[in-house]
Amino acid sequence: MPCLHALTSRLSRITSCAALALTLSGCSHFHPKPSRQYVYVTAKEAILRDRVAAVSNRTGTVTNGEKLIVLDHARRFLKVQTPNGTIGWIEERQTAGPTIADTFEALGEAHKNDPVIATATASDEVYLHVAPGRTTDHFYLLAENDPLSLLERASIPKPLPPGVTAATAPPDASGAPPAPAMEDWWLVRDSKGQTGWLYGRMADIVTPDALLRYANGQRIVGAYILAHVDDPDSGIVVNNAPVTSVPEYLTVLTPYKAGLPYDFNQVRVFIWNAKKHRYETGFSDHNIAGYLPVTIGRQTDPTAKGIDATEKLPSFTYRVLADGQPMPTPNPTTGLFKPGATIEKTYLLEGNICRRILAPGTQPPPEAHPDPVAEKKLHARIRATSPHHHRR
């Protein structure tokens, strides 16, 4: 009997220990391990070191945009692990937390379907910012000559020089406080789909070299191919090869000034003269408040008859500010321009002639003009844009 009692007592202790182990095991479900912390590399390139010390060994290299697992913290340094398992210490200032990365991802998602209004290249190594402004958060680093798609323009006040404030800035000629100098920023998307804001002077608009001589001191902000003309003797060479099918372009231009209340104030169509082997102006529209994007396509002439009614001709459409609307000012928070009522102007390119398409029996609606227009010039302008003026 004593042996039986001892055995029973032993089994009871084993059962109690097992129950305690199960209880402790069950508690682990209510106390999960803390989730991993991540950071992203913002520097062009950063070195990982085996310790935080004046003398250390390199363990690896990381590049802009890489996602790293945070293993430990020290003053101004993080111990991280790369996707391929390399571990080392990196300066914290060379990284950004997941919040910034998520913000950039959301920005790209919000604008992934935006139309491309012009193309450009990065003029130097430059960061994309989360919003217009030199001090806003930045993340992605562009390389020089990276191709870019321009999506939207914003204008914000240019930072004042050190030691100068709005109150201490010298007044203008009338004695009034000077208007703040402005700078333009572009919302861009690179070839990887990365989206962000870029300082306007760091974007070089892609412009055909053959058109630069015709800009007349203005900046071409968009050049779009409308048609091609065969000319074996064009004299144009691209990439060391002669061009025999010469493109004809629609261009939109603007003065070299930031903060303007329009995207362009001039439209010009450059046709190709195959006899003289040169570009000539086939159409121009000046002193307008125009807004991107410009639409290029092909469509039939609604006034044509017979077989000509089925022919699709090169067409282009752009928007201008309507008469009576104030010139827009940039939103003080976003820097974006939101013009009031606009007029859509559509033209067909028929041979060397551009002709505006209007509904039968209608006249061109009046437009706003950035610069004053004399009454005589205004009447001539209306005649020039009428649907019959450009007919041969």
Dihedral of CA 290/293/296/302: which sign?
A: negative
Secondary structure element (H or E) that encloses residue 6, with its range: helix 2-27
CATH number of 97-158+180-206: 2.30.30.40
CA–CA separation, 76 vs 66, rounded Å? Answer: 19
Domain boundaries, the chain: 37-96, 97-158+180-206, 211-384
Closest alpha carbon to 201 in 182, 180, 183, 222: 183
pLDDT at residue 33 in the model:
57
Do 97 and 39 form a contact (C-beta atoms < 8 A)? yes
CA–CA separation, 253 vs 267, rounded Å? Answer: 6
* C-alpha to C-alpha distances, 168 to 160, 161, 164, 182, nearest whole angstrom: 11, 11, 6, 18
Backbone dihedral angles phi then psi of residue 234, each to the nearest 5 degrees:
-65, -30
What's the average pLDDT block by block, 10 residues per block, for the chain (392 residues)? 48 51 49 76 93 92 93 93 95 92 94 92 95 94 95 92 66 70 95 95 92 91 95 88 93 95 97 94 96 94 77 95 96 94 96 90 93 64 49 38
Secondary structure element (H or E) that encloses residue 8, with its range: helix 2-27
| Beta strands at 37-41 and 95-96: parallel, antiparallel or unpaired | antiparallel
pTM, two decimals, is 0.78
Closest alpha carbon to 202 in 253, 259, 144: 144
The Cβ of residue 175 has, within 10 Å, a number of other Cβ atoms equal to 6
Residue 166 gets the label, from left (phi > 0), alpha (psi -120 to 50) or beta, of alpha
77 three-state secondary structure: strand
- CATH T-level assignment (fold) for domain 37-96: SH3 type barrels. (2.30.30)
CA–CA separation, 373 vs 238, rounded Å? Answer: 41
As separate numbers, helices (DSSP H) first and strands (DSSP E) second, the chain gives: 4, 23
Domains 37-96 and 97-158+180-206 are alike in CATH topology: yes
CA–CA separation, 31 vs 190, rounded Å? Answer: 43
pLDDT at residue 391 in the model:
41
